[in-house]
Structure formats: C-alpha cells, structure tokens
Structure 1
Amino acid sequence: MTVIVLEEPRRELSQDFGPGDVVSYIGKIHAAPADPFVPGDPADRTFCGQDTSGMEKLSYRPAGPGASWFPPNKRQWVCRDCDTALRTG
C-alpha cells in the first residue's frame, strides 16, 4: 500500500496586531492512502478520517521497509490516529 504524507495547515492571525494577516504554521502530519485512480495523489480521506482537500502533500518517502511513514523532523506534529491506524492496520 502506498502512503501519502500530508500536512494539515494551521492558520492563525498575526500576533503583532497588524492588519490581521494570516500566518501559516505547521499543523498535524497525516497519512492517507494513494488515490486508486490518480497514483501519487492522496485519496479523499486520511487514515483518521479527515478530508484531504485542504492539506499539502509532502515529498517524504520512507527509506525502506520498517522505516517511519513520517519525516523524523516532524515527529511532534504526527496525528496519533493516523499513526495508530497504520501500525495496527
């Protein structure tokens, strides 16, 4: 099974009380199966059930069997539900 790694953007208003520009921060890192009709694109839902349409695809690919499905430098943002689904599925 091909796993597509996605980043859920988290947007917050600027803290400097400026014009109210939206600032992007890292949200959760999710996993989704590949779309069966468009290889390389995610299916409509992540393994935790979220809609993938507003998420950004990451270019990360696991190094090999047994390697982490997510980039090691993004461990603190991993969606625990997606992680559990992949480990138990």
Structure 2
Amino acid sequence: MAIVVLRELRMELSEDFGPGDPVSLIEAVHAAPADPDTPGDVDDQTFCGKPTQDMERVNYRPAGPGASWLPPNMRPWECAACARALHS
C-alpha cells in the first residue's frame, strides 16, 4: 500500500497584531493511503480519519522497507493516531 504524507496547517496572525498576512504553521503531520483509482492522488481520509481535502502534501518517500513513513524533521508534529494505525 502506498502512503502519502500530509501536513495539516493552521493560520495564525502576528502576535503583535501588526500588518501582514496570516502565517501557515504545522498543526500535525498525517499519513493517508494513496487513492486506488487515481495513481498519485491521496484518498479522502487520513489513517486517523481526518479529511485530506485541505491538507498539504509533503514530498517524501521512505528510504525503503521498514523506514519511517514520517520525514525525520517532522517528528515533533507526528499524528500519534496515524502512527498507531500504520503499526497495527
């Protein structure tokens, strides 16, 4: 099964309420199955059950069998529910 890595983002305004646009911050990093009908696309839900529609795809492929689905630099935002689903 192909796994797609997705970032769930949240928008935040500057803390000083100064001018500028909201900044995108990572809320969580999720895993989702690839869409079986459309190669290269992501399925409708992550392994933890969240909709993938508004998530941003991460360009990452595990190094090989047994390698982590999660990019090492994104470990602080790992979705624990997705990780449990992948390990079961």
Amino acid at match of 2:22: V
Amino acid at match of 1:72: P
TM-score (ref. length: structure 1): 0.93
Q: Deviations over 1:37-83 (max 9, x none)?
A: 11111100000000000000111000001000010111010000000
Q: What's the % identity of the aligned pairs?
A: 61
5+ unaligned residues in a row in structure 2: which ranges? none
Displacement over 6 Å in runs of 4+: none
Q: Deviations over 1:2-24 (max 9, x none)?
A: 00000001211211212463111
Between 46-55 and 8-17, report the one with greater CA deviation: 8-17
5+ unaligned residues in a row in structure 1: which ranges? none
The count of aligned residue pairs is 88
Matches for 1:1-89 after TM superposition, within 5 Å: 1-19=1-19, 21-88=21-88
TM-score (ref. length: structure 2): 0.94
Partner SS for 1:10: strand
